[in-house]
Amino acid sequence: MTSNIIRPLMYYVMPGMFFLFTFWQPAALQLTFLVTTIFGVVQGRLFQNARFRQWAGLHPLIKPQAPLTPEQRRRRQLAAMESKLNMAQMSYEAPSQATTKKKGMLSGVSSYFEEVRKRTDQMVRDRAGQRGNPGSRPKGFVNRAEAYEGRRRKELAAEKEYKRKGSY
């Protein structure tokens, strides 16, 4: 029903309003609006034409169904309520006595990420040369770390002595 009102407005009133709002504008702008309007009307008519749609390989237009009467609407609502009631009665299952712990919806996701984390940790340990436990280090690594710690202690002691003398 509303499309019966809107369609004549869009075909006849809107172009007239365009003319009223643009009659003092430059001719190029008026010509642009005129050509655009003509192309829009032609395109709209073509796309509504069944033969053109078939020729262009477009799906046919679906005609809207007639609106339901209040009686038909009430019957559909009653049928829907009845089917929901039947489904609820059919799908009810009494609780079981078993106390098995069911997995939650996100347990699969969390176990997947846990597995990825473990594999990543293992890969990093392999690349760093760690073959055993995460706390164990290769002998060469431990020797280099101890040498660095010794150098750093000497640097800190020298800095402390420098500040103590006041030459800072």
Tokens encoding 6: 């809107």
pLDDT over 90 at 22, yes or no: no
pLDDT of residue 106: 66
Domain with 131, as residue range(s), is 109-165
Structural domain includes residue 8: yes
Percent of the chain with pLDDT over 70: 80
Structural domain includes residue 66: no
Q: In sequence order, what DSSP letters do the residues of 82-134 get, joined into one string?
A: HHHHHHHHHH--PPPS--PPPPPTTHHHHHHHHHHHHHHHHHHHHHHT--S-T
Structural domain includes residue 102: no
How would residue 90 be classed by pLDDT, with cut points 50, 70 and 90? low
Q: How many domains does the chain have?
A: 2
Of these ranges, 11-20, 51-60, 61-70, 158-167, the one predicted with the greatest mean pLDDT is 51-60
Structural domain includes residue 75: no
Using the 3D structure, point to which of 29, 56, 83 is the last residue of a domain: 56
Structural domain includes residue 119: yes
pLDDT of residue 149: 94
pLDDT of residue 126: 75
Structural domain includes residue 29: yes
Q: What's the pTM value of the predicted model, to 2 decimals?
A: 0.33
- H/E stretch holding 81 reads helix 70-91
Structural domain includes residue 71: no
pLDDT over 90 at 111, yes or no: no
pLDDT of residue 77: 85
pLDDT of residue 16: 83
Decide: helix, strand or coil at residue 68: coil
Structural domain includes residue 83: no
Using the 3D structure, point to which of 14, 37, 56 is the last residue of a domain: 56
Using the 3D structure, point to which of 56, 75, 97 is the last residue of a domain: 56
Q: What is the pLDDT of residues 117-159, one digit of tens each?
A: 888 888 887 777 656 565 667 788 888 889 999 999 999 999 9
